[in-house]
Amino acid sequence: MRYRALIPVKSLDEAKSRLAAHLTPDQRAALVLDMLHHILYVLRASKAFEQISVVSADEHVLERAHLWGAQPLREEQQGHNPALHMAALKALDAGASALLTISADLPLLDINDIWDMVEKSRCHDIVLAPSQDNTGTNALLVHPPLAVPYMFGPGSLQRFITEAKERQLRWTLHQSLGLSLDIDTIDDIAIARRYEKECRAMHACFHL
């Protein structure tokens, strides 16, 4: 299969608003970019993807994505799900047969997480990586692209599972610390700090 990857990233002035009581705007922006850099590093190191794209409305994010070797895709539709749909159509047109969509805020993501998802995709149409609370979705690997519509947001895991069942698609979950720990709150940062040796993505947090 020909694998591609999409990483949606919010505008830096909107990102990580739940951390506003603890981090300055500059610190939040640095954190977002630090984690994005890490995700791109892991995806490239996996050598599983013929192209990695970053989808964002933020010009600074897109500039960094290009600098770090990813294809920058300007968000053409308001909201992540419509924007991802448009990006997935482009991947299909380019010949992608499988598409990973992954959160940009997974500081403990490891190359083995990616390899394990790719391996599971060889015998499943959909591989889902749940969030910490098992309600959200931090990564979605599907073949073909758009086998299910994008439905990211609160409660998305069950929506994806329901859609997969209705379409009679083979689906499975992949659960790991690297794919489940996303950074939304100060408690999440505290958890990540416990894994400082494994967590090369959070230089900004370790120096707060």
Structure-block tokens of residue 112: 């083995």
How many residues are there in the chain?
208
Return d(Cα 103, Cα 8) in angstroms, integer: 7
Residue with the two structure tokens 């610390």: 177
Q: Which amino acid is at 15?
A: A
Return d(Cα 29, Cα 180) in angstroms, integer: 21
Specify the DSSP class assigned to residue 17: G
pLDDT over 90 percentage in the chain: 75
**What does the pLDDT look like over 60-71, one tens digit per residue?**
999 999 999 999
- Predicted TM-score (pTM) of this structure: 0.92
| N- to C-terminal Cα separation, the chain | 42
User: Rounded to an integer, what is the distance from CA 170 to the centroid of its chain?
Assistant: 21
Residue with the two structure tokens 């996303």: 182
Specify the DSSP class assigned to residue 32: H
**What does the pLDDT look like over 130-170, one tens digit per residue?**
999 999 999 999 999 999 999 999 999 999 999 999 999 99
Domains of the chain: 3-10+20-206 (3.90.550.10)
